Structure 1
């Protein structure tokens, strides 16, 4: 079963949609806030489009077929949220037509999840 997921994830990485390719160009190599993103990554029984493990953030891109799958997507989101992930969903068209706005939302979500850059040592907290 695990091998099947690995093979499927590899196939998805090789055959990314135009929207996924565009977003990946902005997320890869720590381009956005220095945060590490992975693409087509397995979490639980799902393969998510993009994940930033350090921020517990998942970014999913939805094409037109997802309009008929809203209940399935909602169940998937609830399951991933139960694993302490925050899930952001964008329509492919939003990524293709307004990438800057999409990146801003992702940037804000990563910043909100990031720990303080210089936390106080133990015992010095208020």
Structure 2
């Protein structure tokens, strides 16, 4: 079975994205981290296949993707 989630090959990409967080992502992260939203754990820069999702909660099965280019 192929592993689709948080592939080792995407580690550096996810790390780089976490280190270069945008202002909007920081605002969102400050509101959802540490189980502040519905007492659910969110992860930053969670990868699924070749895509990296900005925020993901497995408990809610909710992915949040902020598109900087669409917002500008």
The root-mean-square deviation of aligned C-alpha atoms, in Å, is 1.5
Larger radius of gyration: 1
For residues 15-54 of structure 1, the aligned pairs below 5 Å read 15-54=20-59
The structure 1 segments of at least 4 consecutive aligned residues displaced by more than 4 Å after TM superposition are: none
Instruction: Classify the secondary structure of the residue corresponding to 2:28.
Output: helix
Which structure exhibits the higher relative contact order, with contacts defined as CA atoms closer than 8 Å and separated by 6 or more residues? 2
Shift of 1:21: 0.5
TM-score when normalising by structure 1: 0.48
- Tell me the distance in 2 between the aligned counterparts of 1:41 and 1:58: 9
- Tell me the distance in 2 between the aligned counterparts of 1:43 and 1:30: 22
Alignment partner for residue 13 of structure 1, among 14, 18, 27? 18
- Tell me the distance in 1 between the aligned counterparts of 2:51 and 2:26: 20
Normalized per residue, the structure richer in helix is 1
Instruction: Classify the secondary structure of the residue corresponding to 2:52.
Output: strand
Structure 2: segments with no counterpart, 5+ residues: 1-6
